[in-house]
Amino acid sequence: MSKTPLPSGEDDKNQSAVDTVGPEHSQGRASANNPLQKLAYSINETLAVVPFSRAYLYQQIAAGRLPVRKSGRRTIVMADDLRQWLDSLETVN
């Protein structure tokens, strides 16, 4: 794991907070080194992993095709719901 240099005047006690995360720790991906997968996505995170616009995503949510959950003001998309929605899209042969 590589270390990010601290600004001058900082001590090394907080160095672990600025460690660079290698590919074996990437969020949302399971691997032999990182068995945890992301369980839910914010709208912005969802937009980062699907090839659709924000407007289209909200249309799908409003139509009831993509279920979402709310926590306060935050809208979250469960990973399983996202996969099911993607699987339900029309296939083109």
Tell me the CB-side half-sphere exposure of residue 49, using CA atoms within 13 A: 15
User: pLDDT, tens digit, for every residue of 20-44?
Assistant: 334 444 454 555 565 678 999 999 9
pTM of the predicted model as reported, rounded to 2 decimal places: 0.61
Q: Does residue 8 sit within a domain?
A: no
Q: Does residue 55 sit within a domain?
A: yes
Say if residues 27 and 35 touch (Cβ distance below 8 Å): no
Whole-number mean pLDDT of the chain?
A: 77
Per cent of the chain over pLDDT 70 is 61
Q: Does residue 72 sit within a domain?
A: yes
Number of domains in the chain: 1
Q: Does residue 44 sit within a domain?
A: yes
Q: Residue 74 belongs to a domain with what CATH number?
A: 1.10.1660.10
Q: Is the pLDDT of residue 58 over 70?
A: yes
Q: Does residue 67 sit within a domain?
A: yes
- Kind of pairing between the strands at 40-42 and 69-71: unpaired
Q: Is the pLDDT of residue 69 over 80?
A: yes
- Model pLDDT, residue 35: 61
Q: Does residue 79 sit within a domain?
A: yes
Q: Does residue 54 sit within a domain?
A: yes
Q: Does residue 3 sit within a domain?
A: no
Domain that residue 49 falls in: 39-93
